[in-house]
Amino acid sequence: MAALLLGAVLLVAQPQLVPSRPAELGQQELLRKAGTLQDDVRDGVAPNGSAQQLPQTIIIGVRKGGTRALLEMLSLHPDV
């Protein structure tokens, strides 16, 4: 249930990459700047110059579920 809720929240929180209607003449400069920001977001570059990446996997644990052991085993793997 928590995974379904998390998925719904992430789906709703996605930024809108395509405008819902054509831009007016006064909004062309704003759209150009927004496009530049979207390119930066896609590249993973933060405004302060640091690199950011979204996680590929989210591990959600429960009591006595072995989550700590899983995290410790993953931390030992050289590719993680």
The 10 Å CB-count burial string (b at 16+, else e) for 52-73 is eeeeeeeeeeeeeeeeeeeeee
Residue 57 annotated as part of some ligand binding site: no
- Can you read off the two tokens belonging to residue 54? 């979204």
61 within 8 A of 67, measured Cβ to Cβ: yes
Q: Which of 13, 64, 72, 75 is catalytic?
A: 64
Report whether 65 belongs to an annotated binding site: yes
Per the annotation, the verdict on 33 as an active-site residue is no
Residue 63 marked as a ligand binder: no
Query: Which of the residues are catalytic?
Result: 64
Residues belonging to the binding site for 3'-phosphoadenylyl sulfate are: 64-68
Instruction: State the binding site.
Output: 64-68
